[in-house]
Amino acid sequence: MSFPTGFLWGGAIAANQCEGAYLEDGKGLSIQDVMPKGVVGPVTEEPTPDNLKLIGIDFYHRYREDIKLFAEMGFKVLRLSIAWSRIFPKGDEEVPNEAGLIFYDKVFDTCLSYGIEPLVTLSHYETPLYLAKQYDGFLNRKVIDFFIRYCETVFHRYKNKVKYWITFNEINAVRHFPLMGAGIFTPKEKLRAQDIYQTAHHEFVASAMAVKFLHEIIPDAKMGCMVLGALNYPMTPHPQDMIAMMERDRDCMFFADVQARGYYPLYIKKLWEKEGVHVVMEPGDEEVLRNTVDFISFSYYMSKCTAADTSIYEKGKGNLTSGVRNPYLKESEWGWQIDPAGLRYTLNYFYDRYQKPLFVAENGLGAIDELMQLPDLTFTVLDDYRITYLRDHLSEVENAIEDGVDVMGYAAWGCIDLVSASTAQMKKRYGFIYVDRNEDGTGSLARYKKKSFDWYQQVIKTNGGSL
């Protein structure tokens, strides 16, 4: 058995995709409240009833029941995010919203009562809407100060409750979806490469300052960075395809390089020269960046293929970013290509590059589930396809550990069904727990255990032995 003692088995959720209660107890609007169709549809003026995230799965009122179910599966860790707009409703206030802080006190206390470590993402695609509209999110340097005020507030408040933190979810998403990734309200078409790199710089500085303050306020706490980890394979062994692969991988690794190593790599400075990008840095920024993260986390749903000339190949689909379709892989109902061995490759790749502990912050299969009634009149979903997916991926995590990679833990994405991020759908389900909510918003919100619930419970109980 390869999984180390103390391996952090668990699941992951994000506030905007599950909490609902979008205006309750003083919460301000977040960008997600005006993104009813995720990244595939327009932003609305005001929250609209077709936005499933406004109610989500009502985790805000049902967190006790849900965390109890996670505990029943044996979770050691729950990755969740704080909705920044619950703590600072507009984002630039000086005084936090006490009711928002109390909510997370209760959530973390519930986790701890079951021996579940909360792993908290500070910013998971849910910038306060006011900061997006008034400041253009992290494109504006002032937002660093607001973010740090928020970080210091929650570090002080939860210092006895939360030991594991992540700054920005999928920080490299800013390249593809600047609003979701960094709260930039200016439409993507109007942004230049300069704006994207400037925003990334502000996020790096914000993240590094958060690392510094975390270590001062909670000395034994650990901060991780988080990237969307979809590495590339060359479509052929043609040397130019290899060069294309190297360049595409840097699109992602650049973000982890800065946060894990504490300085800008030379390859990006050369690229900026070529592209005429001049990132404005203030005195002291380079020193701040040296506050590197303690661990590296990433989401893994797929690998990608690339080539020097991608136009001659069929395009693949993916979570926020995609490449060329890999002819050797099967795909999910949403066209995401399934590649368990790619997870072993990714873990080895990251570890070779940084030699820092790794955490698989997201992995899972989004699928259409069918709720059915069993002879004993209970309801379930026979999700063998999900079990197969997760078993195959976890077996590759085990192989990576055998390869010598230091893996701290694994969080199955959407461990309870929630609203999807890219397409804002309810029918795209990832959970071990089914939530009765339909695409049109109807449903009782009741929870039902799927077949994968018992399976994961067994995996955790045996520390991976039953895989």
Catalytic site positions:
170, 362
The contacts found for 453-457 with CB under 8 angstroms, 24 or more apart, are 453/69, 453/73, 455/387, 455/390, 455/391, 456/73, 456/390, 456/412, 456/432, 457/72, 457/73, 457/74
CB closer to ligand BG6 out of 139 and 230: 230
With the C-alpha atoms ordered 371, 374, 376, 377, is the resulting torsion angle positive or negative?
positive
CB closer to ligand BG6 out of 74 and 364: 364
CB closer to ligand BG6 out of 239 and 441: 441
Residue 191: strand, helix, or coil:
coil
Q: From CA 90, how far away is CA 85, in angstroms rounded?
A: 6
Residue 69: strand, helix, or coil:
helix
CB closer to ligand BG6 out of 3 and 59: 59
Minimal distance, residue 301 CB to ligand BG6, in Å:
6
Catalog residues that contact ligand BG6 under the rule CB under 6 A: 14, 17, 125, 169-170, 228, 299, 319-320, 362, 366, 413, 420-423, 428
CB closer to ligand BG6 out of 198 and 422: 422
Minimal distance, residue 457 CB to ligand BG6, in Å:
23
- H/E stretch holding 348: helix 340-354
Q: Specify whether the CB–CB gap between 230 and 169 falls below 8 A.
A: no
Pairing of strands 379-380, 372-373: antiparallel
CB closer to ligand BG6 out of 14 and 208: 14
Q: From CA 313, how far away is CA 323, in angstroms rounded?
A: 10
Residue 393, burial from CB neighbour count under 10 angstroms (0-12, 13-18, 19+): buried
Residues 6 or more apart from 365 whose CB is under 8 A from it? 332, 338, 385, 386, 389, 390, 430
Minimal distance, residue 11 CB to ligand BG6, in Å:
12
